[in-house]
Amino acid sequence: MTRLTWAAAAAAVAAAVLTRAAWSQPRPEGGRSGPAANPLIRLFDTDRDGTLSAAEIDAAAARLRSLDADRNGRLDAAELRPAPEARRGGGPAMDQAAASDKPPLPKDDGEKRILDALDVARHGRRYANVSTADGRLLRQLTEAVGAKTVVELGTSTGESGLWFALALRKTGGKLLTHDIDPGRIAVARENFKKAGVDDIITIVEGDAHKTAPRTKEPIDVLFIDAEKEGYSAYLKELLPLVRPGGLILAHNMRTPTPDPRYIEAVTTSPELDTSFVLMDGAGVGITLKKR
């Protein structure tokens, strides 16, 4: 599915949704009809009244496009999974995509320069990168733990590195970011320079399986966002270097499909405690190395 076919796809989905034979789902008894049991109706029924209005059908193309978490112009089954229903107490669940679209507000000139560089980077050649919601989480966790040393596996064009820099310029820390692609590294280096944070970021070119384990300082935050089949190996190689109380953050815990060996490793070890968040997008795993 290319980006030029979103509207056609939305029309086809809406037509299917409106076919009475396709959906004969019971509604909850009493009061508003509530969300339909069928997942496609829940996907487009933004006011949660159990039906699709003309406005909701017209908005279907934009809704589908917003679900394209990896921005590859296609939707897979995981991306089409409906958002969680309303929490106890009633009312629709927050539309996280809409909330995360609100721009971050800079506190000072240095932060504004980084955010401006991020905005420029998003309009360039992006390759794979984190979303705004994911990036904000990286910044928040890094600043919250007072990280001095962050190790990133998968520099790409530097967007995640810029989110880390927002925190590290306040904690007095540094980022060691590893990538094997010289083209992406060149773009990242320019982005870091524009943001004025190249002095706190060291780019290491090469195979991160070999270069990252050479880190000398205890790692406060480890961010894994490289080849997906390598996640379990990265964890094994670098977990001994993560300080007790440190964090292992893993991107793409929902889409693309994560390595089940990594999921098994971080959810079955008594030394680790893991949560999965932002799962309506690419998904982020937060693993604490227990003290």
Give pLDDT tens digits for 3-30: 445 555 555 555 554 444 344 444 444 4
pLDDT of residue 86: 39
Please, where in the chain does CATH 3.40.50.150 lie? 109-289
54 confidence band (pLDDT: 50, 70, 90): confident
pLDDT, position 103: 81
pLDDT tens track for 87-114 = 444 444 445 555 556 788 999 999 999 9
Residue 38 has pLDDT above 80, yes or no: no
Distance from C-alpha of 155 to C-alpha of 129, rounded to nearest angstrom? 9
What pLDDT, on a 0 to 100 scale, did the predictor assign at position 102?
Answer: 75
Structure tokens at 274: 């893991």
Q: Residue-wise over 46-67: b if at least 16 C-beta within 10 A, else e?
A: bebebebeeebbebbbebbbbb
Residue 2: the pLDDT is 43
What's the pLDDT score for residue 227?
Answer: 95
Statement: residue 188 has pLDDT above 60: yes
Residues 6+ apart with CB under 8 A from 261: 231, 232
Instruction: Tell which wins on pLDDT, 199 or 68.
Output: 199
Write down the pTM of the prediction: 0.69
Cis preceding linkage at 258, omega within 30? no
Task: Tell which CATH architecture fits domain 109-289.
Answer: 3-Layer(aba) Sandwich (3.40)
Shortest CA distance to 201 belongs to which of 122, 130, 114, 109?
114
